[in-house]
Amino acid sequence: MNRRWMILGGTGLGVAAGWGIWSWFSRNRGRDANPPAPEPAPAQPTPAPTPAPAKPEVTTAGPPKSSIREGLIKDPAVRESPEAAVARGTGLVWRKPQLAEVVTPDKWLAVRPLNEPGFAARAGSGVDITDAVFRAVVGERELASGPVVFAIRGAVSDRASNPYASGHRLTIVAPDHLNFCCTIGVWDPETKQLSTYAASTVPNRTAIVSSALGVQAANMLLPGVFNYVPGSHSNYKKYGFPFSIIGALRQNGPSGGAGSLKVLRATTPQGMQGASVSTTTDDNIHCAETPLLEPYDRFSSEGCLVVAGRYTPQEGHTGPWARFLKDGKFKGRSKVTVILANSTQLPVV
């Protein structure tokens, strides 16, 4: 009995020992087959992305906002001496570079005022412009329907513009090809009212000098009564101003016009005295300040009749020019009668 229990006990102990050994072996074998994962390395900071090289700035050169040159006298009724104009300059290059070589300051200063036909002799005298005066000038000529434009060469008001009235008094002056020495206005034959604006009806000094030296053509329209047509004036794209002056009056256009008219052309750089008679088809009526305004000049004209003021697409019509367009009522009209007279043709008071 005891022997049997001893055998059973020994057998049990052997089994237990074998189980323990097998369990220990299995646990260690598992640890060797699946070693623990290594601890992750500390995270490295993510480098900032390299910025793409900046694109060079591209500046789009648009048209200047205004065609006016800085430093000009703002009030067209104020007169400036030629010497002051040269000293003033504008600090900018010539719009037409070819003129810089020929229109030197001494030649520009040497231009003489337009004393013929009698402007100097009658300078300071007054002339009244009224409905009756212009009816006498046009005589029996048929007028285009609507307000009439008149231009008086060598006569000025003491104001840049005068609103509609039955008449206005002007003072005779000799056009000096620098200041606004003329008057352009609107006459309404129906109401017998007139308005006036500072203007010029002669070429500027740059045009006279350069024309006489063969660089460009310039002229001065002779007095008369003509029919102009509404339209735009010039295209200044090649000078950096991609626009035309809208609302102008053209000597000739697709719908007609005055045809070829007689003009005087300068034969010496000193002025229009002794000029030769010629013809032109391009003497329009437009604002005085344009992209072709050169350094010393106050108005831009190679022969056109110009009203003080300017036009740009950004600013629209400004100055006396804007009021002239309003009074003239040119929009939608097929033709406009234009009267050009010397102040010395009118009755002196």
Reduced 3-state DSSP string for 18-66: HHHHHHHHHHHHHHHHCCCCCCCCCCCCCCCCCCCCCCCCCCCCCCCCC
**Would 27 be classed as within a structural domain?**
no
Q: Which of 248, 250, 243 is nearest to 315 (CA)?
A: 243
- Which tens digits make up the pLDDT trace of 98-140? 899 899 999 999 999 998 889 999 999 999 999 999 999 999 9
pLDDT value, residue 238: 76
**What torsion, rounded to 10 degrees, do the Cα atoms 170, 173, 174, 180 define?**
-70
Distances (CA, A) of 274 to 16, 108, 116, 311: 145, 18, 9, 35
CA distance 308 to 300: 10
- Which tens digits make up the pLDDT trace of 14-57? 434 444 433 434 444 444 444 444 444 444 554 454 444 443 33
**Would 131 be classed as within a structural domain?**
yes
pLDDT value, residue 128: 96
CA distance 174 to 179: 10
**Backbone phi, psi, residue 74, to 5°:** -75, -35
pLDDT value, residue 68: 66
**To 5 degrees, how large is the angle CA 159–CA 221–CA 100?**
80
**Would 291 be classed as within a structural domain?**
yes
Q: Would you give the distance in Å from CA 108 to the centre of its chain?
A: 25
- Number of domains within the chain: 1
pTM of the model: 0.81
CB within 8 Å of 332: residues ≥ 6 apart? none
Q: Are the beta carbons of 232 and 246 closer than 8 angstroms?
A: yes
Q: Are the beta carbons of 222 and 262 closer than 8 angstroms?
A: yes
- Full domain range(s) for residue 338: 88-345
Q: Are the beta carbons of 289 and 74 closer than 8 angstroms?
A: no
**Would 266 be classed as within a structural domain?**
yes
Of the CA atoms within 13 Å of residue 321, those in its CB half-sphere come to: 29
Low-confidence ranges of the chain (pLDDT < 70): 1-68
**Backbone phi, psi, residue 7, to 5°:** -65, -45
DSSP class of residue 141 equals P
**Would 148 be classed as within a structural domain?**
yes
**Would 74 be classed as within a structural domain?**
no
**Would 17 be classed as within a structural domain?**
no
| Other CB atoms within 10 A of residue 333 CB | 16
| Other CB atoms within 10 A of residue 27 CB | 9
Q: Would you give the distance in Å from CA 71 to the centre of its chain?
A: 16
CB within 8 Å of 243: residues ≥ 6 apart? 63, 235, 236, 237, 312, 313
Q: Which residues pair with 151 in a beta bridge?
A: 184, 340
**Would 270 be classed as within a structural domain?**
yes
